[in-house]
Amino acid sequence: MDSVAKDQMQPVLPPGSSCPGPEWPEQERAEQLARGAALKWASGIFYRPEQLARLGQYRSREMQRTCSLEARIKSAVQSYLEGVQTGMWQLRRALEAVQGTREALSQAHGLLQDMAQASRTLEPLREQVSLHKQLQVVSQLLPRLQAVPAAVVHTQSLIDAQRLLEAYVSLRELEQLQEETRASLGGLEFPIFQGLGLLAEALGQAVEAAAGAAGQLARENPALLVAAVRVAEVEAGRVPGTGQAPRDWRQRFLRALQEGLQQTHFAPPLLPGPGALAGWLEALRVALPAELATAEALVAPCCPPHYNVVQLWAHTLHGGLRHCLQQLLAGPVLGAADAFALLHWALHVYLGQEMMGGLELGPEADVSRLEPLLTLEDIEQLEATFVAQVQANVIQWLQKALDGEVAEWHREQEPNTDLAGFYHSPMPAIVLQILDENIRVSSLVSESLQRRVHSMALSELGVFLRSFSDALIRFSRDHLRGEATAPQYVSYLLAALNHQSALSSSVSVLQPDGAAPGALAPVEAALDELQRRICRLVLEALLVELQPLFAALPSRQWLSSSELLDGVCERTAHFCRDFWRVRNPAVQLLAEVERAVVLQYLRALMQGRLVCRGAEQRAQAAERLQHDAAQLRELFLGLGLEESAHCAPVLLALRELLSLRDPALLGLEVAGLRQQFPDVSEDHVSALLDLRGDVSREQRQAALSSLQAGPPPSPPTGRRALFSLVPAPTPSASSCLPSGPCA
């Protein structure tokens, strides 16, 4: 056994080889490594001589280990060889089984080929059997098939006669016969049934037609409406068989209901044209609630509850109306009246007690869930359209009012007066009425529209006031240049003041409740500016008349006679004769006139046209100033101006400066003058000193120094500036102080 194992463990050498070395290099390398390891181990064990005594023990132990390893190796190799023999035996058995199976399959394939050939031989017989069965079925159904054409004609006549239930029963019988025939003949279609599709479609159209006229049928022929509903419901509840599936007649019925409503009320031919929107909306206000009442009272009882007829009616009408309004908004721009009518109708009438808000419909109507007729964008568009149209109209109306007023200014007659004698024109009332009516009308729609119109009205009123002011300026320029003479020029300026006063006193009517407190501030500022401009034009007209008289003042004639000032007073009194026809600003205008006269007087004094040649002329000048001040005081007191508003007392202060005998005391007088009139300048004082004619260089310098060194003037108490509005001639170089304006 050991020899057999050894033989089995020997490697098989190829023919012609005598040693394993060249064929097994790994074996040689492993042997070398083993020898090296053994030498290393032996050298470590037997390093000392005394350890050689145990050599026999080591040899015996290693021989035992080697024998054990060889035994295990032989056992493993023997087990491996036995497994290989078992596998080889199993492979031989499997090969034999595969060869047997191949032979059996080959025999079965041959048998199947023989059977297929036999089956093809029997095919004509099979066809004859099938044809026989079909002919047998046809022979059984022949009496019923022969009646099909007559049944089709009868069913069509039932449809034409609107006997929908009977027509549906007849149609179903024909369709069932068709299904039986098709099933019996293996899906074969008979030409005799080709007209059933058209017949079914005709019945479906009849159901749709009844649904489209549901409102009318509910009043005139409810039986037909009920029949159409039952046909649609029976068809929808039919259980699908092997043949045709149920038709969608219920959906067609409901869709026809909606389309019929929309065609009745919102078809394109019924849409309103320009300017007819209000009448169309009024017709809808009457028609839509009546339509919903008909649906609840007459149509709903003819339909199943799950149809929700009232809700369907309400939502269909609402959706059709929304779509119609969207078409209107997408078309040409609406006019102001149409935009207002649509906004008011959609926001108030439609949801109000007259329509949806007042209907006593059941909860199934669910009117509260209806979408708004107009979206926020639609409302914004309509409001913008309305405001733009109204603004264009307002601009035209205001321009017509202004043109009519301007046309009156060149008349030879005085302006019209009211019962109290004041100049009067309907223009302010027309302007305010135009704006106020539009603001009030817009409040009927919404607060947002009212705010828009209010803002537009104030803006256009401001534009109108500027246009009115510009027209007055052109009127004044043309008159003063002589390009277009106005016989009643001043009277119409005074009438314009009354117009401004009327607008100022009544502009508050344009302020609606809840508006911002300062909304009228720009208009009020424009009115104040208009009043100031008219007053300036009036004063300019007066100064044009007085300019030739003041050109001779002061002069020798002025010193010796009151003729110049008499002429000034006479012309001023004549100019102011119609001031009483001005309402509120009459006193203020009179004060402005008095101030303008005094300013002209001061301008004339400052021109340096007169220099007194002695004490006698200075006394005459002082007396003339006193006399002129008294004369102006009497003039304006007589015209109705209170003395506290007079500016003429400035002449008395100048009189003191001229009547002073000792020039050395001029400094005190100049300081007193500055206390009374803080806006007096060195140039004004120099011009007055030149008028005296007796002031030396040193005295002039001392007087002007007192003007600078004096105590600060007390704050004015309601006194307006005078000297700052009077241009003084530039003093000569000899009279300039280092601190003066010439420095």
| Res 396: pLDDT | 95
Determine the Cα–Cα distance for residues 235 and 239; give it in Å rounded to an integer: 9
Where in the sequence is the domain holding 524, given as residue range(s)?
A: 379-511+520-535
Closest CA to 205 of 150, 162, 246: 162
Distances (CA, A) of 450 to 390, 428, 440, 510: 12, 22, 8, 11
| Res 380: pLDDT | 93
76-97 confidence digits (pLDDT tens): 888 888 888 898 899 988 998 9
Pair (503, 645) in one structural domain? no
Pair (68, 159) in one structural domain? no
335-367 confidence digits (pLDDT tens): 889 999 999 998 888 877 778 766 665 555 666
Judged by DSSP in three states, 739 sits in coil
| Res 626: pLDDT | 92
Q: Is 623 part of any domain?
A: yes
Is residue 542 scored above 50 in pLDDT? Answer: yes
Q: What share of the chain is helix, strand, coil (3-state, %, to 5)?
A: 75, 0, 25
Pair (502, 446) in one structural domain? yes
376-400 confidence digits (pLDDT tens): 999 999 999 999 999 999 999 999 9
| Res 367: pLDDT | 65
| Res 689: pLDDT | 86
- Burial letters 480-508, b for 16+ CB under 10 A, else e: eeeeeebebbbbbbbbbbbbbbbbbeebe
Pair (171, 240) in one structural domain? yes
Q: What is the mean pLDDT of the chain?
A: 83
- DSSP string of 134-194, one letter each residue: HHHHHHHHHHHHHTHHHHHHHHHHHHHTT-HHHHHHHHHHHHHHHHHHHHHTTSPPPGGGT
722-734 confidence digits (pLDDT tens): 888 888 766 543 3
**H-type alpha helices, 482-585:** 489-506, 521-550, 556-560, 563-575
Number of domains in the chain: 5
Q: Is 159 part of any domain?
A: yes
Pair (505, 647) in one structural domain? no
Considering only residues 184 and 424, tell me which one the structure prediction assigns the higher pLDDT: 424
Q: Is 438 part of any domain?
A: yes
Pair (590, 613) in one structural domain? yes
Residues 6+ positions from 74 with CB-CB distance below 8 Å: 2, 5, 9
Q: Is 406 part of any domain?
A: yes
**Contact indicator for 56, 45 with CB cutoff of 8 Å:** no
**Contact indicator for 253, 228 with CB cutoff of 8 Å:** yes
Pair (507, 590) in one structural domain? no
| Res 3: pLDDT | 42
Distances (CA, A) of 648 to 636, 677, 727: 10, 13, 18
**Contact indicator for 380, 343 with CB cutoff of 8 Å:** no
| Res 19: pLDDT | 43
| Direct distance between the N- and C-terminal alpha carbons of the chain, in angstroms, rounded to an integer | 151
Please name every residue paired with 423 in a beta bridge, in sequence order, or none if there are none.
Answer: 417
Determine the Cα–Cα distance for residues 455 and 394; give it in Å rounded to an integer: 13
Mean pLDDT of 582-592: 82
Instruction: Give the H/E segment covering residue 310.
Output: helix 309-330
Q: Is 45 part of any domain?
A: no
pTM assigned to the model: 0.68
Is residue 480 scored above 70 in pLDDT? Answer: yes
Cα-Cα-Cα-Cα dihedral sign, residues 631, 635, 637, 641: negative
| Res 12: pLDDT | 41
Pair (625, 563) in one structural domain? yes
Pair (315, 393) in one structural domain? no
Q: Is 27 part of any domain?
A: no
Pair (223, 321) in one structural domain? no
- DSSP string of 372-416, one letter each residue: PSS-HHHHHHHHHHHHHHHHHHHHHHHHHHHHHHHHHTT-SSPPP
Q: Is 240 part of any domain?
A: yes
State the residue for tokens 């016969």. Answer: 177
109-161 confidence digits (pLDDT tens): 888 887 877 777 777 777 776 666 666 666 666 777 777 888 889 999 999 99
Determine the Cα–Cα distance for residues 693 and 690; give it in Å rounded to an integer: 5
Pair (347, 487) in one structural domain? no
Question: Residue 4: pLDDT band by 50, 70, 90 thresholds?
Answer: very low
Pair (102, 77) in one structural domain? yes
| Res 243: pLDDT | 57
Q: Is 418 part of any domain?
A: yes
